Amino acid sequence: MLRTLLFIAAVALSASGIAARGGRPAAIFLCENSDLTNGVTIEDNAASSYCGILLIGAARVRPYLVPRFNVLRGNNVYDSVVGCADAFRPGQWPDGRNTWAGNKCAGQPNTGPAYF
């Protein structure tokens, strides 16, 4: 069910012209601007857009206001300029690392995200 809801949200974001990071769309977009919506699992999706999977938040406000404690597994991102991107850099906060496993973020099996 969550995969379906994320897909619908991603299509709505792309179709409406709402852009992610720098005016570019993302096929799957997970945004955190509070500390209430962590622990999401995104798995077994096929995605293609300027950015395939984007996790972004309000780290400029608080370093922990980014998607944390999430699992991204078995996703296939293709024909994207940026395969996968995660705003929660390793070491940014003592806990909350996102788990990226078995994804094709860069067109190759088991590739992870770019961090920013």
In 61-82, which positions are buried (b, 16+ CB within 10 angstroms) versus exposed (e)? Answer: eeebbbbbebebeebbbeebeb
Percentage of the chain exceeding pLDDT 70 = 80
Number of domains into which the chain is organized: 1
**Mean per-residue pLDDT of the chain:** 82
The two three-digit tokens of residue 62, written as one number: 């608080």
Structural domain that includes position 13: 2-115
> What's the rounded mean pLDDT across residues 61-80?
93
Q: Is residue 4 very low, low, confident or very high in pLDDT (cuts 50, 70, 90)?
A: very low
pLDDT score recorded for residue 37: 63
Q: How many CA atoms lie within 13 A of 1 on its CB side?
A: 0
Q: Tell me, what's the pLDDT at 21? A: 44
d(CA 57, CA 54): 10
Q: What burial class does residue 29 get, using C-beta atoms within 10 Å of its C-beta: 0-12 exposed, 13-18 middle, 19+ buried? A: buried
Q: What pLDDT is recorded for position 102?
A: 97
Please write the tens of the pLDDT for every residue from 16-50. 333 444 578 999 999 988 877 689 999 999 999 99
Instruction: Answer yes or no: is pLDDT of 6 > 80.
Output: no
